Amino acid sequence: MRAHALAVSLLALALPIAAAAQTPVPEGPPRIPATPDFHVTVGLAHATWSGTGLTGATGPTVGITRHVIGPMRVAFDFASLSGNTFSGSGVESAHHYLIDAGVTLAPTFRAGERIVQPHLGLAIGTLVTDPANATSSTRSQNDWELVAGLDVGVAGPFTVGAGYRRVRVSLQDAAATGPTAASTAVTANAFEVRVGVRF
């Protein structure tokens, strides 16, 4: 009789333990990796030129960065900016297409559940200048860039950010003819606001 009572007591103790072991643990919201592989952004940029007579140029941007190792990332960016360009002894309306690739150092920090990622790097690219005047020549020049910025996670994989580019280029005269058109060394300071997604 005592053995039977002992067995019943042990069974009663074991049942709550088994039930607790089988209770599923609720999962939290999905988490993004500490260092996402890709970051895709779209934004709006405004560039101011150092050249006399050149006005600001504004337009949309698209960017893609890819994690390589540690804080290092490779970046590809495209911007389509409406402004003006050198033409003869003056300037004329033009559209600028800025295409570049570079390497940035972008360490990843966490502020609670949010990812904060500053970045600094160098890029090389091409500036294609397409004048509005059909009689002027479309020109393509190589450029060098210093890039910097900051992106902050706002909801899951989504981000908001700001960027800066200092672009140095020999801007060719759109009115000149021939393959060796006159050029003027100028710089552009481009500021960008953007939204993006990491994955």
Fold of 36-198: Porin (2.40.160)
pLDDT at residue 165, rounded to an integer = 98
Number of other residues whose CB lies within 10 A of the CB of residue 61: 21
DSSP string, 44-90: EEEEEESSTTPPPEEEEEEEEEEEEETTEEEEEEEEEEEEEEEETTE
Q: What is the pLDDT along the chain (199 residues), one digit of tens a residue?
A: 555 554 555 555 555 544 444 555 555 444 445 568 999 999 999 999 999 999 999 999 999 999 999 999 999 999 999 999 999 889 999 999 999 999 999 999 988 888 899 999 999 999 999 999 999 999 999 999 999 999 999 998 999 999 999 999 999 999 988 777 789 999 999 999 999 999 9
* pLDDT value for 1: 53
Q: What confidence score (pLDDT) does residue 19 get?
A: 46
Q: Which helix (H) or strand (E) holds 189?
A: strand 183-198
